[in-house]
Amino acid sequence: MIKDLLPNVVKVSYKSVTRYANAYGGASANLGPTVKVWMGERNGVFVFNKEYYMRLALDLARTGMGYTSPNPCVGSVIVKNGVVIGSGAHLRAGLAHAEVSALNMAGDNAAGATLYVTLEPCNHHGKTPPCTDDIIKSKIAKVIIATLDPNPLVCGKGVKALEDAGIMVEIGLLKKEADALNQIFFHYIVSKTPFVTLKCGMSLDAKLATKNHISKWITNSNSRLDAHYYRHTHDAILVGVNTILADNPSLTYRGDLKSTKSLIRIILDTNLKTPTDANVVTDKSNPTWIVVGSNVTKEQIAKYPNAKIIQMKDKHIDLKQLMLTLGELQITSILVEGGYTILTSFLEQSLFNQIVVYIAPLLIGGKSAPGLFMGEGFATLNDALKLKYEHMQMIDDNLKLVLTKEQNAQDFDDKEEV
């Protein structure tokens, strides 16, 4: 029975069983040792191959999403003679790395085993000692890595340290999944600026509010709950001062997950018009940072003892400069929630990594009703922002789309066809 094959620490779900059965044609597939298991009233098939163990490591890594910043999410399992003898995830910056937790669980049994890890093990001293040292000491025979760490302190050096110690290393198993898991960390570590997600709820005609500026609520309650997940996985949430003036939002995480970090609330407010009794200033539940222009005086700033004021060098708030400043302050990701003036500024400067939109089956209409992308607009299709659909999902009657920039966008012929 499965209980005898896997230690209790590994949670086995029927979903993961069927995923393999469906993907590989069930028990007839010859991709690794298969074991028929009986779970409740359903029969399933386990395929014990390298991919299976790496998927376990990826599932473990996923449990750290929203908790590990500024570190990446990492999962690891150690396998010996087809049995998982150790498993671990990186749960928070400063706590043990995934490989080290897995090695601690495996103990002396780790000698001669294979270690699966979703990200290249580090070989430098950070908040914790190098993981490669522990792996080498434990006499692990082989390390299978999903993806390399782009952090210049690590990239390739972790692999070299292991290989120099005579450990066999394999790289690239389920790389795409591992890269997707750490898109925020990878962007930040390379660019030193935050990963930017633009998020909005809109009607089918891309309106964010009616001509009377009524926007509560365009989208349904489950879409709004889903949107909270992005507050959980980002370091900061950013809005323009008009959203504060219009809605007095609290900008906190109110989803289902236990949140251990403080979501930082960033308000772009050139002339410091945020009311001193606004929720974001008075509630103290989360840190509030107000970004202001150079014209704001010390006297004005003194009225906001609960907020951190970031004063830009120019009269206006230059978004590119702001991204560099936020990067220096270790903000690895920001969720831009609007309103439309702010969203338009980010879009015009192509300052984003992904867009998340929730579309309601509503037509609001009206030339003066604010839309997702206002401003002057682009004159030609070649100039237009080209996007790629990454994910689509129905949330009750709302359509959720996740889009990224299209890297190899096609050229458009702007001439009229005759």
Ligand X SMILES: NC(=O)c1ccc[n+]([C@@H]2O[C@H](COP(=O)([O-])OP(=O)(O)OC[C@H]3O[C@@H](n4cnc5c(N)ncnc54)[C@H](OP(=O)(O)O)[C@@H]3O)[C@@H](O)[C@H]2O)c1
Which residues, in sequence order, are bridge partners of residue 408? none
In whole angstroms, the minimum distance from the beta carbon of 38 to ligand X comes to 48
Could you give the count of Cα atoms lying within 13 Å of 351 in the half-sphere of its Cβ? 20
Q: Does a cis peptide bond (omega within 30 degrees of 0) precede residue 70?
A: yes
175, 402, 333, 128: CA torsion to nearest 10 = -30
Catalytic residues: 99
CB atoms within 10 A of CB 157: 20
Ramachandran assignment for 382, one of left (phi > 0), alpha (psi -120 to 50 degrees), beta (any other): alpha
CB closer to ligand X out of 7 and 366: 366
Quickly tell me which residue has 């974001």 as its tokens.
Answer: 280
- Chain Cα centroid distance, residue 17: 26
Distance CA 170, CA 56 (A): 17
Quickly tell me which residue has 């950013």 as its tokens.
Answer: 238
CB closer to ligand X out of 218 and 331: 218
Q: Measuring CA to CA, how many Å separate 386 from each of 204, 345, 405, 406, 412?
A: 19, 16, 6, 5, 11
In whole angstroms, the minimum distance from the beta carbon of 273 to ligand X comes to 6
CB closer to ligand X out of 58 and 244: 244
CB closer to ligand X out of 154 and 209: 209
In whole angstroms, the minimum distance from the beta carbon of 107 to ligand X comes to 51
In whole angstroms, the minimum distance from the beta carbon of 240 to ligand X comes to 2
The three-class DSSP label of residue 402 is strand
Distance CA 385, CA 374 (A): 13
Helix-strand-coil percent breakdown of the chain, rounded to 5?
30, 25, 45
CB closer to ligand X out of 53 and 340: 340
Distance CA 389, CA 187 (A): 19
Nearest to 157 by CA among 134, 186, 130: 130
CB atoms within 10 A of CB 223: 22
The three-class DSSP label of residue 243 is helix
In whole angstroms, the minimum distance from the beta carbon of 157 to ligand X comes to 39
In whole angstroms, the minimum distance from the beta carbon of 387 to ligand X comes to 18
CB closer to ligand X out of 76 and 203: 203
Phi, psi of 5 (to 5 degrees): -90, -35
Which residues are near ligand X by CB under 6 A? Answer: 200-202, 208-209, 213, 215, 218, 239-243, 246-247, 268-271, 273, 317, 319, 337-342, 345
In whole angstroms, the minimum distance from the beta carbon of 379 to ligand X comes to 21
The three-class DSSP label of residue 15 is helix
CB closer to ligand X out of 104 and 341: 341
